[in-house]
Amino acid sequence: MQEPVAADPNAVPPPSRTRNPAANPRRMRRIIAEDPEWSLAIVPQLTELCIQHIINNFESNPILNSLLPDHQRKVLDKVSTSLPLTVTANLISDEGYWKRCCIARWAVCDVSRYGNSWKRMFFERHLENILKFYIPDTTNPNQVLDVIPLCKEYVKKLDIDQFLPPVKIDQKKEDEEASDTESDSGMDEPSMDHFDMSMLTPALCHLEELHLSYGVKDCGMNFEWNLFEFTYRDCCSLANAVKKCPTLKVFKLSRSKVDDEKSRVLIHELLDHPSLTELNLSHNLIADRGARAVGKLINHSKIVTLNLCDNRIRAQGAQAIAHALSKNSILTSLNLRLNCIEDEGGQAICHALLTNETLTNLHLGGNELSEPTATLFSQVLAQNTALTHINLSCNHIGLVRNLFSYKGDGHIALV
């Protein structure tokens, strides 16, 4: 039997069938990093490190305008939206940054209502929020005064639907402990005046629209009538504020219990206003004396749209407005819905429309009008060619609808 040949120690081993070790993943050495962000990438460029440093220290050292456009874009995309407005207001004009600020602060952001400007939207809503929650004698006035220089170039419209009254701490307890002699001493009631708008509007050099409502929203079980009080001092300060705002075009003061006396104070300051074209005093308490003041305003202003819906104007007030309307050549829209001018006031307006050639939109719904006014309106429609929209709904016109033979391109509502 042949004995096995001993292996030659100097012999070269045959080549492995798998020449590429990487083909077998089990034989590859792997590095499992404990840091999930660890990678084999090279060290960040110095430019990126500098940009990140600028972002981290933007509040204390805001560097932006001296950067290249690409570097500015990287900074604006990552800089915090919670930076103080004293840093960002007049430095950053990029709409992308202000869009991030708006989205971070409010759930609903309709930029189309703000001229498609995110920066304008931010500053208008920011100022509105401050004013809505301003408490007289409690909130520091500097909270408003300090923000005015930052936002005055961007605010064109303010819509403030609530004004908080002063808060008297433990007033109820003090009243209970007051003695009878103290109660008979004629002590003045606590002031219920709201924020003084004359501190604000003169500084807003581009303000064009001002919508106000003096009241408290969501008061719940804490409801009191004095929460909805528009005081005489409020009226005087507001009248002064509007007078000092020459750029104002639209003024709306609704649901604020504006009566004859307060409306006359306001209108006195609105006479010959250089730019006011739309006035809305709807849902107030204006009666005939206030309506006479409105009649004077119609021919001493540039007002094109007038809304006196839901007030207490009766026949005499309507006659005063009609007299002004017969001499006016500017007003194009008049809303007297939900008053009580009755046939006497309605006929006066009809006679005015026989000579007026500019009014195109008239709303007299809910004014206790009946057949005599409707009959006269049929004559107006046959002669007046300017009117395009007339609303006589919610009246007592009855069966005289066949009197209307209007053949124009406008719209008549007789519901």
CB-side neighbour CA atoms (13 Å) of 209: 13
Three-state DSSP state, 322: helix
What residue has token string 């124009």? 408
Q: Give the per-residue pLDDT at 409.
A: 59
Distance between CA atoms of 80 and 172, rounded to whole angstroms? 46
DSSP one-letter code for 275: S
User: Phi/psi class of residue 116: alpha, beta or left (left: φ > 0; alpha: ψ in -120 to 50)?
Assistant: left
Q: Give the per-residue pLDDT at 58.
A: 96
Per-position pLDDT tens, the chain of length 415: 455 555 555 655 555 555 565 566 555 556 665 777 776 667 788 999 999 999 999 999 999 999 999 999 999 999 999 999 999 999 999 999 999 999 999 999 999 999 999 999 999 999 999 999 999 989 999 999 999 999 999 999 999 999 998 876 554 444 555 444 444 444 445 567 899 999 999 999 999 999 999 999 888 888 888 888 899 999 999 999 999 999 999 999 999 999 999 999 999 999 999 999 999 999 999 999 999 999 999 999 999 999 999 999 999 999 999 999 999 999 999 999 999 999 999 999 999 999 999 999 999 999 999 999 999 998 998 999 999 999 999 999 876 544 454 545 565 655 5
Residue type, 298: I
Q: Give the per-residue pLDDT at 36.
A: 72
List residues bridging with 374 in a β-sheet: none
Name 238's Cβ contacts closer than 8 Å, sequence gap at least 6.
197, 198, 212, 253, 266
Distance between CA atoms of 207 and 380, rounded to whole angstroms? 39
Other CB atoms within a 10 A radius of the CB of residue 285 amount to 17
What residue has token string 């220290």? 57
Name 239's Cβ contacts closer than 8 Å, sequence gap at least 6.
265, 266, 268, 269, 270
Q: Give the per-residue pLDDT at 160.
A: 96
Q: Give the per-residue pLDDT at 397.
A: 84
HEC secondary structure over 222-271: HCCHHHHCCCHHHHHHHHHHHHCCCCCCEEEECCCCCCHHHHHHHHHHHC
Q: Give the per-residue pLDDT at 223.
A: 84
Angle between helices 342-353 and 315-326 (to 10 degrees): 0
Q: Give the per-residue pLDDT at 121.
A: 97
Distance between CA atoms of 128 and 124, rounded to whole angstroms? 6
Q: Give the per-residue pLDDT at 392.
A: 92
Q: Which of 280, 264, 270, 281 is nearest to 242 (CA)?
A: 270
Other CB atoms within a 10 A radius of the CB of residue 19 amount to 7
